[in-house]
Structure 1
């Protein structure tokens, strides 16, 4: 009897020893089950959601990087579309368009026209003071400030030609007859000056020649572009009357 009780007691003790482990597993199982006995997938769903958010974040970061790179490239590249404006000797626009390989811009011809106009308008004298001021503004706008050309043309207007005083006695008509390139930035020019009395009669004619050096600059201010769209500037010149 005592042995049986002892055995029963041992079994009870053994059963009591196993009960904590069984209760833990049962409790863990209960956490993964719904009240109706179905499996609870909350933790798996949370893991899937976390993975999906990580994938979405990587995609968003990649798109943001591409967008920043594209915007940066767009900002540093030029957004100015160049147009070539061709004018005749009177300043009338005769052609406007974008330059292309099929229709390249003849820069040498354009510079030749700039030199010819500058020479003619720097030497001309007219009776209309407003027109004379327009010619002089054109000439000064195409002379580099502080250059030898600026000092020479300033001295010519104030001490030699004196166009406003001269116009009271006679006017001067200027025609370029020869303009030959000496280099990429110099031209040799010959021209004729015809003097007219106030009544229009011709009372004198002179031949002149000169050497003109120029350069071109890219202008970025609207005011400068309006005054000198070609960015053409005379940097130095010499001229003299042809004798004989």
Structure 2
């Protein structure tokens, strides 16, 4: 009985030899239409599967190459191709210097002096010219970040009450600022001294001019992809006031 149940090995089973198929059967096999049809079908199915896998692989590779190309084009397209140049002309109208324009270093003390002088002058200014007053207020806010303490302080000073609003005060008085000195106390904090003069609408002094002093803490923020064109126009050097405090000098 064992010989009936014994399974033929791969070497003994002629169906599993590696002889090439001819007409659906291998050399030495008896003709069997069912076995030949099955073998032919299996071979055809395997060939189709291999071809399909090859085309799928080629399709995936093509898609990856296309995505890489599109990503590269987007990256190149997002980069600015415009490079501004500075041209200097002498008194005779001849070109003297032609060179790429370089952004000034925001840490230059002269730039910080000018920015802080404008900030204090515009923050304390009271002008009967509503357009000039509005321009001054907008400049002040261009140097403020809503996340910093200086924003809340400036907002309270400008809009806290009707008496503090420069637009309401301009109905009765005018205030001018004369910057006296700007001295660094630390790399980020500067002392600003100025003389403040208040006059009524007829130009008569309301009181003797008095001295004021402020400590202003700043930070420099570089441009990012989120930086808008309006921010660049209003605050080109990225100097922002983080905090400030002032007092009247005796």
TM-score past 0.5 threshold: yes
Alignment pair present for 1:229 and 2:236: yes
Structure 1: runs of 5+ lacking an equivalent: 1-67, 85-95
Aligned mates of 2:147, 2:105 — CA distance in 1 = 34
**2:194 counterpart (187, 191, 204):** 191
Structure showing greater Rg: 1
TM-score by length of 2: 0.56
Structure-2 change in CA distance of 1:177 and 1:157 (3 Å)? same
CA contact (8 A) 1:99 1:105 kept: no
Task: Please state whether the residue corresponding to 2:144 is helix, strand or coil.
Answer: coil
- Cα-to-partner distance string for 1:84-133 (whole Å, 9 max, x where unaligned): 9xxxxxxxxxxx97249xx9887121111101110111000001112111
CA contact (8 A) 2:83 2:100 kept: no
Provide the aligned C-alpha RMSD in A: 3.0
Q: Which residue number in structure 2 is paired with residue 38 of structure 1?
A: none
Q: Alignment length, in residue pairs?
A: 160
Q: Which residue number in structure 1 is paired with residue 204 of structure 2?
A: 201
Q: Which residue number in structure 2 is paired with residue 129 of structure 1?
A: 130
Structure-2 change in CA distance of 1:77 and 1:130 (3 Å)? closer
Q: Which has the higher helix share?
A: 1
- Cα-to-partner distance string for 1:28-49 (whole Å, 9 max, x where unaligned): xxxxxxxxxxxxxxxxxxxxxx
Structure 2: runs of 5+ lacking an equivalent: 1-68, 87-98
Matches within 5 A, 1:50-65: none
Structure-2 change in CA distance of 1:186 and 1:168 (3 Å)? same
CA contact (8 A) 2:106 2:238 kept: no
Alignment pair present for 1:169 and 2:169: no
